[in-house]
Structure 1
Amino acid sequence: MHQLAGKLNQLDPQAGEALRIVSYFDVLVARGVGLDGLLRGAAVLSGTVAGAEVRGRTTRRDPDGHPVTDAAGPRRRGSHRSRADWAVWLEREGEPGPVDEMIVERLALGVELLEARRRPESGFDAVVDPDRPVAERVTLLAKRRIAPAARVRILATPADAAEAGEVSAIVPTRYGLLRATLDTSGGLAPPGPAGYGTWVRADRAPESWEAAVVALRLTDAATPVVDATDLGAMLMLAQAYDPDHPHEDVRALARLDRRSAGILLTLVEADSIRSAAAELGMHHSTVQARHEALTRALGYDPRTHLGRMRYIAAALLLRLAAPEPPAG
């Protein structure tokens, strides 16, 4: 993540800083920090006082991490978020900083997760947690009048996406914070990127959530919604894969520059090298030379039947290997 942030910062400093903020808060959540820890992080990143009001109690921290208890109370609130039981904000005079909105957004997601954990009887994140006992998940489902054998699926969307259904929760994953939403009707249609999990019995919701996370990772601008069911047997491959230890076929694809990757895709999909050359607008002999060079770089011929299978599998797994930079 740090390497990706560094590269992105060279290309687009604001996008690189946004990715650093996402990574920072995800680490805090993964470590299980409380409200004070989240506020200290927000204050340090923003360089101003960060505050929160949770269930009627106000807590504020300055950029040095010290509590702020001045009698005057919070200064004018700049960027802020709120729900029924809590609110978070940055206290800044004048115009907001360039990443204030991102900081407050991630702070709000952290507080939302803390509040969900504080109320375990209503925490939907436990329903999709494979480490929770089945009996506990069934009890939580029963509180929502959902039978263990009921047919459900889980949707995965970015953590800051609008809630698409009545039952959802922020859930920490290996890819950072994501939002899990329960779908019992098949009629939910999130407005942005979304991964649809497989349909399962309600007491097997973690299986659907795992599939939904994989599906979300495979979305892009051209395909903003991916249904895990459509992956077929490839879903099993993706679920068994460990992105922290990428296969050599995946590493080989990752080493290609964007132009080479585009030529490779065309070579894999085209009926012949001549048709690939026509599509690319390149001379046949040039494409032939690129095909030979790519074959050496990959360690297999991507135009053979077996080579195409290796390429398709590696391209799928490459999408799971590294966090994506935030949109916008």
Structure 2
Amino acid sequence: MYGLTSSPAHPSSEAETAPALLARFDALFAGVADADELVRAAARVAGCTAGMADRGRVLRRCPAGGVPEAAGEVVPSTRRLITVGGRAAGEVWVERPGEPLPFDALLTERMALAAAILVARGAGVPAGGPGGHIGSAGGHAGSAGGHAGSAGGVASFARPRRPRDAGRGPCEHPVWAPAGLGDPALVQAALSPSMPETQRSRALHLLGLPPAGPMRAVAVVVAEPQSLQGALRACAAELSAPPSARTGTVAPHGVLWPRVGALVLPGPGPGPAAAVRPGPGVAVGLGPAVAPERLPESWAQARRAARFAGLGPTWPRLVDAAGLGAQVLLADIPEEAALAHPDVSAVARLEAEPDGPQMLATLEAVCRTRSLREAAKLLSLHHSSVAHRVARAERALAMSLSDPSDRQRVHTAVLLWRLNAPDNWRN
């Protein structure tokens, strides 16, 4: 503990990757005995005043370990709520003059997790602790996701798992599992192709995943950012285990971008007939099961599969990359090249007509079924209505859907247009 708190302050976010910082903060806070020790350690590593409040009591310490000289209102630069049992139980913060440093949000996140354990066991801020009045201005509201995590704008909301060794106290566990599971910085580190293998292994270990054996990545993309957290939680719960063998735990998951989240599934994972049924505005792509060191490959294929999910009336909202075959290569064609092709341009003009979306849905259904009647059944239309639309489309595209070659051209053009259309939120 002395070695950690005596190390140079201000760790460089550029020199130290997210897993290195996570490991440092987890080790720093895992053994603290009370709130005073926690705040002193945080102030030392931050190089500025740190504080903690719970039950209306405030505790502040400066880097040297003493009480800050300045009295009056406390204006945090970065703060985070302490949550116990899903309820706010206080907050922690750092008071850095000027702009916050990149690692401040991660430091306060780790500090809040340690504080939650202390508060839960009655070792929070003591009565009469040195403090002040907590101001409401000047802070990044860490608990609201405004500057959460160290992975560049990601937000943390994961549901912690219970430690495997339930007989030991939280601070006695060799790896502080509740602090790591579902952390978006760890999820991103595990999926990044530029991450060294040792640090990827560390990230997977903190996520509670086995160091060996197959695992697969899952991409969850949503049309509206506000629906991402709910979609991620639902997919994590449904894909973690078959319904008949539900264990009560969920896969590690995290928000990587405002509309993109990731899951990491241990083991071979679900097959093409996965139980999860995403709702409208949600696209899910399943990557292949791979060895841990190849997890970035699974993530790349999961992202490509998600681009096809729910793309039209014949596409499911959950797509397994293994089932796409050679079609997945269409997602690799540069957008400019795809949109500039005459066939794709013709499809785009067709969709721009008043009933264009219905025309494209009809084209896709006809190309992916064996007859007009089967396409009509899929679209819930009379077969004569489908025949009328097909005739119009053939005139507009100067192609015949009864010709196998033209049929294949139309199908490819529709796919390329939908994959690269400006309003395709899956991209």
Task: Provide TM-score, normalisation by structure 2.
Answer: 0.43
Q: Structure 1 residue 180: deviation in Å? A: 0.9
Number of the residue aligned with 1:265: 364
CA distance in 2, matches of 1:269, 1:121: 39
Provide Cα deviations, 1:116-140, integer angstroms capped at 9, x if missing partner.
7999996220221223344543443
CA distance in 2, matches of 1:303, 1:52: 64
Structure 2 unaligned segments of length 5 or more: list them. 1-76, 82-91, 96-132, 157-179, 222-227, 237-249
Number of the residue aligned with 1:318: 417
Change (3 A) 1:52 1:294: farther
Provide Cα deviations, 1:267-307, integer angstroms capped at 9, x if missing partner.
435656799799443496x55742431332xxx44432222
Q: Structure 1 residue 196: deviation in Å? A: 1.2
Contact 1:109/1:170 (<8 A) preserved: no
Counterpart residue identity of residue 262, structure 2: A
Contact 1:196/1:228 (<8 A) preserved: yes
2:347 pairs, out of 253, 259, 263, with 253
Number of the residue aligned with 2:307: 217
Residue 243 (str. 1) matches residue 329 (str. 2): no
Number of the residue aligned with 1:199: 289
CA distance in 2, matches of 1:122, 1:275: 47
- Give the secondary structure class of the aligned counterpart of 1:130: coil
Contact 2:210/2:266 (<8 A) preserved: no
- Give the secondary structure class of the aligned counterpart of 2:416: helix
Number of the residue aligned with 1:292: 394
CA distance in 2, matches of 1:241, 1:142: 36
CA distance in 1, matches of 2:348, 2:204: 42
Change (3 A) 1:117 1:203: farther
1:167 pairs, out of 252, 258, 272, with 252
The sequence identity of aligned pairs, in percent, is 24
Change (3 A) 1:250 1:207: farther
Number of the residue aligned with 2:192: 129
2:384 pairs, out of 261, 281, 295, with 281
Counterpart residue identity of residue 250, structure 1: V
Contact 2:309/2:318 (<8 A) preserved: yes
Structure 1 unaligned segments of length 5 or more: list them. 1-50, 60-70, 76-81, 89-107
CA distance in 2, matches of 1:324, 1:291: 22
Change (3 A) 1:211 1:145: same
Residue 309 (str. 1) matches residue 408 (str. 2): yes
Contact 2:366/2:372 (<8 A) preserved: yes
CA distance in 1, matches of 2:346, 2:294: 36
CA distance in 2, matches of 1:272, 1:162: 38
Contact 1:211/1:228 (<8 A) preserved: yes
Number of the residue aligned with 2:260: 178
Q: Structure 1 residue 204: deviation in Å? A: 1.0
Larger Rg: 2
Q: Aligned pair count?
A: 229
Q: Structure 1 residue 260: deviation in Å? A: 2.6
Contact 1:153/1:196 (<8 A) preserved: yes
CA distance in 2, matches of 1:207, 1:197: 8
Q: Structure 1 residue 151: deviation in Å? A: 0.7
Provide Cα deviations, 1:65-122, integer angstroms capped at 9, x if missing partner.
xxxxxx88449xxxxxx9xxx422xxxxxxxxxxxxxxxxxxx376255587999996
CA distance in 2, matches of 1:211, 1:229: 9
Q: Structure 1 residue 227: deviation in Å? A: 1.4
Number of the residue aligned with 2:143: 87
CA distance in 1, matches of 2:275, 2:202: 28
1:150 pairs, out of 206, 213, 217, with 213
Change (3 A) 1:317 1:151: farther
Number of the residue aligned with 2:98: none
Contact 2:215/2:265 (<8 A) preserved: yes
